[in-house]
Chain A
């Protein structure tokens, strides 16, 4: 029998397993664990690929995966890219759900959804923790440890109060031409921006600007949308691979966990082997669920045969504002870009309001054909327009905070389908229109008709399904250690435990909290 079984190999499962391994626990990690196809990583830059004959296979895909947005509902081009398809492979089959008009994305991949993340790494600060049953300072040592291990680039600037300590950061990545111009515009008109509630600055990204151990610094090859295994961009595999290779964690792939049973002296975990279809049982003294907010909740409800209780669901709603800068029309393609967020924008309408956080992206890492039919010109004109205007195209994507709402919930059906209802989202448009006014003064043009709100669920920051409550004895909430009520030896390490979701990427907090939960599980083993 193992000390601990961890379910899931994403950001939470990896960091819980790592902590438990450091504590010398006997850890079994059960995972479905889809992997990318065995092929050498792309070594040419995005520009070199475009100038070669390899674009078809590497970027469009043998089954034209990258063209999915031509015919289907819109999905992030990264998730459509051929080498990233493993991230969402078989997800609706393995995790059936019904979501109505909402868009829900799941992953059963080795490394989880973090394989395709935007690498934004932000500490939750004091205000972000106001609904948590512990203060912000509790996570500081874990944030520091994760920062040291994964390598985060960023700097101390106007956004430091929103992003937390800048200790241990590598220097920020190089800004591309368009982002430099945007930041210069902000610096020149800072008083106007700040008076309107806006602050701009450099992002915190889990992307190396300097070598860290065996991982090289960013090469500015603009492959972040095309190659999932870039050593300069952190993914959980970089942490989990050596733990498995060094036998500090026993890893069992191809196992779909179905439910658990808590007995007097152990927890039994029932899983189906996806190759043989055989149902197997594994035992451990403790169980850590890290299958993501949706699937950890699914497992809990299934294990209690509960098909009536609804659990809250949180997600950051995204909105998008495109900008065009005529000053950059006709400029040559920017050869040294990285395709990830160039700048961050934080909007706070007044000091007591919740803030929105936006990311400023430039269009350097995607094919022109991705947007070509959006130009209101005939076909030949769209090609010329894309060639000359894309160097001046940028997008600000805002995230909105999320609080529990009785009309946003999940429920498990007897047939195993997860019913996702997400009816209420925040009112949008105010921040976006104010930003358009300010950016126009910096030479960045947009129009309210171009502003878009993504479907509910498109934030892919699902949280809150098994929320932490300090003294609250409600079933399916978790205590400060992540233990899920009414269980004794079952813990949750993923974002399901977050009672509130601020408007920022939560992955760094998921990793830090998973370490903390792993430590708590270890301590509970010591107590017997």
Chain B
């Protein structure tokens, strides 16, 4: 029981951290609790590569660029555990009415849309290079 509570607390901390550092949002405490419960309900860590979960924890401990690392992982394996965790978090953030404007456009913004997409495309190139480098570095440090 204490172990389960400890794991739930760790997952809640993980949710708050990843939401802030990857999505740039302040997650509601209730959504952090739901993130932990989702792990149980969906079996999110079941069958997951333990080394990837460990990699995530080390990356968090070192304040590494999680967004870059997940992006690099996702392009080689869409179903990796880090992407699944982020995907669950995306659903929870979308369920927060404070952030509906991040997911839903309510006024015409054609020029802004193309500028945003162009900027994010350039950013993606940088993040991919950085992500691959971080994954190699963290793996080597652990070896």
Contacts and interface: CB of A to CB of B under 8 A. Distances in A.
B6 interface: no
Contact of A381 (B88, B114, B124): B124
A253 interface: no
A391 B43 CA distance: 33
Contact of A330 (B86, B111, B124, B127): B111
A368 interface: yes
Nearest to B114: A329
B75 interface: yes
Nearest to B72: A378
Given A60-B91, A373-B83, A377-B120, A387 B102 contact: yes
A373 B87 contact: yes
Contacts of A52: 97
Interface residues of B, number: 51
Interface stretch (B9-17, B51-59, B63-71): B63-71
A244 B87 CA distance: 44
B114 A56 contact: no
A151 to B, nearest CB: 32
Contact of A380 (B42, B84, B120, B131): B120
A332 interface: yes
A388 interface: yes
A385 interface: yes
A155 B17 CA distance: 54
Residues of A in contact with B, size category: 35 or more
A165 interface: no
Nearest to A66: B91
Interface in B24-60: 24, 31, 34, 37-38, 41-44
A373 B86 contact: yes
B117 A373 contact: no
Interface string B84-128: 101110111011010010111111111111101100110110010
Given A64-B42, A329-B113, A70 B84 contact: yes
Nearest to A58: B95
Contacts of A382: 90
Contacts of B37: 64
B90 A372 contact: yes
Contact of A67 (B31, B88, B127): B88
A423 to B, nearest CB: 26
Interface in A357-378: 367-369, 372-373, 376-378
B133 interface: no
A68 interface: yes
Contact of B113 (A330, A372, A383): A330
Nearest to B111: A330
A220 interface: no
A333 B106 contact: yes
A22 interface: no
Given A60-B95, A66-B91, A373-B90, 15 more contacts: A64-B37, A330-B112, A330-B113, A330-B114, A332-B108, A367-B91, A368-B94, A369-B91, A373-B74, A377-B71, A378-B120, A379-B22, A379-B67, A387-B104, A388-B113
**Pairs of residues from A and B, 5 with the lowest C-beta to C-beta distance, nearest first:** A330-B113, A381-B120, A388-B113, A330-B110, A378-B71
9 contacts: A50-B103, A56-B95, A64-B38, A64-B88, A71-B43, A329-B114, A330-B114, A379-B67, A384-B117
